[in-house]
Amino acid sequence: MIYEASNGQKITYEIIRKKNKNLYFRVKEDLKLYIYAPIYMTQHTILKYLKENEKAILKMYEKREENREDINIYKYLGKKYYIKIEADIEEVKFTASEVLTPSLEVLDEYTKKMINKVYEEEISLCKRCFSTLPEFTWKTRFMKTRWGVCNTKTKQITLNTELIKKDVDLLEYVIIHELCHFFEPNHSKAFWSLVSQAFPKYKEARQRLKE
């Protein structure tokens, strides 16, 4: 069934009868509106509630569209590409606007490979900003709240795998930030002075990482 909203948007909906007292709406990944209604409620009453809640339902569609777009977009070193599955190719390929891959699993493996490769290259470059550095190891992992961590006791830095989605200079900033902690463990004035010597635009980088 189709409901035409006041903005002209045509909404495909399905009414599902439930043994519940209240009526509620869900917009699922197939972009279809599912209306869960009590068994006794008439279709006329359901459509009345649909019209009264139209604004909220349209917001549900906006949110679902945003989430759906994120799923179809691949972010790599500051650029966005639309993911296109091409079963007849053997490896990941890039065009100006698309990333072609035989499967999402192959794309995931490619990302892991490039994280190790790119991070290792950038760490080697960033080490040149320091006259001396202790021997250290590094690893990567997904982190929800931090871009990097420096363990001064074990001499190990950890970098967020999500940095592969950012511009490469932001990856460089995080690496330098963590390396500076080997000399200044706290975020003191001395620490930021050391960071600024190796990465003068650190304030701008910090702001961009929040975007």
Residue-range domain boundaries for the chain: 2-70, 73-106, 119-209
The tens-digit pLDDT sequence of the chain (211 residues) is: 899 999 999 999 999 999 888 999 999 877 899 999 999 999 999 999 999 999 999 999 888 776 665 668 899 999 999 999 998 999 999 999 999 999 999 999 999 999 999 999 999 999 999 999 999 999 999 999 999 999 999 999 999 999 999 999 999 999 999 999 999 999 999 999 999 999 999 999 999 999 8
Residue 96 token pair: 């100006």
Spatial distance between the Cα atoms of 85 and 100, rounded to a whole number of angstroms: 6
Report the alpha-carbon angle 116-120-123, nearest 5.
140
Going edge to edge, which strands form the sheet with 10-18? 2-4, 10-18, 33-38, 24-27
Q: Can you say whether residue 132 is alpha, beta or left, with left for phi > 0 and alpha for psi between -120 and 50 degrees?
A: beta
Residue 105 token pair: 């699993």
CATH, domain range 119-209: 3.30.2010.10
pLDDT digits (tens, 9 = 90+) for 74-108: 999 999 999 999 989 999 999 999 999 999 999 99
